[in-house]
Amino acid sequence: MKEIVIQVDELTKEFGHFVAVDKITFEVYKSEIFGFLGANGAGKTTAMRMLCGLSVPSSGNATVAGFDVYRQTEQIKKSIGYMSQKFSLYEDLTVAENIHLFGGIYGLTNRQMKEGRDRLVERLGLHNEMKKRVGALPMGWKQKLAFSLAILHRPRVVFLDEPTGGVDPITRRQFWDLIYEATEEGITVFVTTHYMDEAEYCDRISMMVDGKIEALDSPANLKRRFSASSMDEVFFQLARGAKRN
């Protein structure tokens, strides 16, 4: 029996008459890479905001890391990490200062901070860059640093919102190596993406169309079901029926 980290049951968000997220139901298991796909406006971001405790659902239930999205948003925020599609570190601060800031935000002790920093520096090979301003680093490194900071406090779940926008394929591959390493440490990854080659890296994928989840399975099963040769085709077949956009 796999441990459930995120449980979502008929979760709905309405803005007036507009139903942004329409009764979605799914589970995410521990150490899984869960891909959250859908065209622009399908409701991905709204769903993710509800799970992060930023937005109150209109109806339905959900728990993240065992905490309720209505009543326990503070606990949720402590148990998750987040990386947005925009590059979101402070460019005018050095690498070390960024690490200390995020350590401070999540209330790490000095020892945890030092351990986390050493682990991060080791993994990314940033030994000589600690005193450099983040703005001076190449894009690929920034992206990897942003991810490493999102998991600095060892969250149960990390939410990645289109993390690899504007990054070349080689760096993207390296980025995914980092994600795999994180899952090996027991961190669950919830990722939205536009890149279908990235979708292939996920353990399971949910396809959102017009606020509903139209398909949810492993990439291999999805391709079989839609008799498609690639995820691109699966996505195209599903998204073609979309009314929004």
Partner 1 sequence: MRKKLKIKSAIAANRNTQFLAFVRKEFRHMFRDRKTLLILFGLPVVQILLFGFALTNEIKDSRIVICDYAKDEASRRIIERFAANNHFVVEESLKSHLQIEDAFQEGRIKLAVIFPANFLSDLHHLHQAQVQLIADASDPNTANILKGYATNILMDYQKELSMDSPLPYQIGSEMRMLYNPQLKGAVNFVPGVMSLILMLICVMMTSVSIVREKEYGTMEVLLVSPVNPLLLILSKAVPYLFLSLVNLTVIVVLSVTLLEVPVNGSLILLFLESTLFIITALSLGLLISNLVKTQQAAILFSLIGLMVPTILFTGFMFPIENMPVVLQWFANVIPSRWYYVIIKSVMIKGAGIQAVWKETVVLLLMTGFLLFISFRNFKTRLEA
Site of interaction with partner 1 (CB under 8 A): 52-56, 74, 77-78, 80, 82-93, 97, 100-101, 103-107, 133, 159
* Least distance to partner 1, CB of residue 58, Å: 12
Question: Token match 């990390």: residue?
Answer: 158
Nearer Cβ to partner 1, position 100 or 223? 100
d(Cα 234, Cα 240) in Å, to the nearest integer?
10
What is the C-alpha to C-alpha distance for residues 84 and 147, in angstroms, rounded to an integer?
A: 10
Nearer to partner 1, 69 or 89 (CB): 89
Task: Say how many C-beta atoms besides its own lie within 10 A of residue 225's C-beta.
Answer: 11
| In the complex, minimum distance from the CB of residue 21 to partner 1, in angstroms, rounded to a whole number | 14
Task: Pick the closer one to partner 1 by CB: 82 or 226.
Answer: 82
Q: Which of 92, 94, 115, 112 is nearest to 104 (CA)?
A: 112
**CB-based contact 150:119 (threshold 8 Å):** no
The least distance separating partner 1 from the CB of residue 198, rounded to whole angstroms, comes to: 20
Give 80 or 222: the residue with its C-beta nearer to partner 1.
80
**Do 116 and 152 form a contact (C-beta atoms < 8 A)?**
yes
In the bound complex, what is the minimum distance in angstroms from residue 122's beta carbon to partner 1? 23
What burial class does residue 165 get, using C-beta atoms within 10 Å of its C-beta: 0-12 exposed, 13-18 middle, 19+ buried?
A: middle
Residue 182 or 205 having the CB closest to partner 1: 182
State the nearest-atom distance from the C-beta of 56 to partner 1, in Å: 6
The answer to whether the beta carbons of residues 154 and 187 sit under 8 Å apart is yes
